[in-house]
Amino acid sequence: MASQQGRHFLQIPGPSPVPDRVLRAMDMPVIDHRSAEFAKLGREVLDGAKSVFKTSQPVVIYPSSGTGAWEAAIVNTLSPGDTVLMAETGHFATLWRQIAGRFGIEVDFIPGDWRRGADPAAIEAKLAEDRGYKIKAVMVVHNETSTGSTSRIAEIRKAIDKAGHPALFMVDTISSLASVDYRHDEWQVDVTVSGSQKGLMLPPGLSFNAISEKAMAASRANKMPRSYWDWQEMVKINANGFFPYTPATNLLYGLREAVRMLHEEGLDAVFARHERLAAATRSAVKAWGLEILCENPAEYSPVLTAVLMPPSHDADHYRKVALEKFNISLGSGLGKVAGKVFRIGHLGECNELTLLGALSGVEMGLAAAGVPHRSGGVQAAMAALESREEANTPKVAVA
């Protein structure tokens, strides 16, 4: 077995590596969550979260995984017997659909082949047909983490408007927030769901709902029983920087630091960095002669790249070899693509050299596991990064 010294390469599309700055910011004594000191932290993180969702409306923060925030979006706005429209983009869309189903929601699930994002035209057609406004919400996964396809949320907003349909618009940004351009207010999203452990560069354990006035009004009128996830109590108490129950205090210290880091770099620069690293990764995959799962270049994910294994090669065996020999964790295939794809995460705390290190591990792993491929992927990634260097170089004013 090769050396396991040095830092582990956590190259899955979430949880993503946590920056040292964030780890240090969390290394704090736990404080009284009813104190004035806490209220200051609470207000800072609630405002900071708004700046990342690009909203002036309430954002609530739950001590939970992203799955909790999925459930929160549903139980606050929908009731058993309601119909919603969803798109089968992959495993995560399928899971969100299942949760809705468990609460007695009827899901009209637009079928998909897991190789592209949600189709705005198909959504528009479904809504245009629904003259009686049976559909209460359109629910879409922004970045489908199981496939590496990113849905075009601004275009889906336009499709809803073109159909003139009053449905709520709910978007899962668990793996896209702070990695891919996202605008809760401008795109008039009613509920944006997110989580801490992907683009936000935090450990797992926080989740979010950004909530429009329309969604808030729907929740006030909604009779679905709920307690822990209820927005009303949360928003009331958040106004003073507090939480109705014990918050994940130390993760909030981390969140405060992560938001600072994002704004120091600039959100647009963060998004451009993700695009650059994703493009370099795709150059490597093409040079290896392997196939990218996402078939629509307009929907290539800036967050991760899912790679199809050549027929009769098992992706999980390959990932095991890469882990044992090179200390790199790659994402597994989920749901119906289990064993057929592996996923390279390039999100959050990631730069040119960490990406090239990761791609070296992927390429050496392919050789070690006997997966047919051409060499030269890392070289191709370097060339792609060099050709985009100009975009990467900060403009320094010369006095």
144 versus 190: smaller Cβ distance to ligand PLP: 144
- Give the nearest distance from C-beta 197 to ligand PLP in angstroms: 6
For ligand PLP, the closer CB: 63 or 195: 195
Q: How far is the CB of 123 from ligand PLP (least distance, A)?
A: 18
Residue 160 φ/ψ, nearest 5 degrees? -65, -45
Nearer to ligand PLP, 41 or 180 (CB): 180
Measured from each CB, the residue nearest to ligand PLP is 66
Task: Please report how close the Cβ of residue 14 comes to ligand PLP at its closest, in angstroms.
Answer: 5
Contact by Cβ (8 Å): 309, 342: yes
> Which C-beta is closer to ligand PLP: that of 65 or that of 379?
65
Q: Give least dist CB 237 to ligand PLP, A.
A: 24
Query: Cis (ω within 30 of 0) for the bond into 13?
Result: no
Nearer to ligand PLP, 76 or 192 (CB): 192
Nearer to ligand PLP, 288 or 300 (CB): 300
Least separation, in Å, of the C-beta of 99 and ligand PLP? 10
For the CB of residue 86, give the shortest distance to ligand PLP in the complex, in Å.
13
Q: How far apart are CA 341 and CA 97, in angstroms?
A: 23
Please give the Cα distance from 29 to 97 (Å, whole number). Answer: 40
Interface residues with ligand PLP (CB under 6 A) are 14, 65-67, 92, 141, 145, 172, 174-175, 195, 204
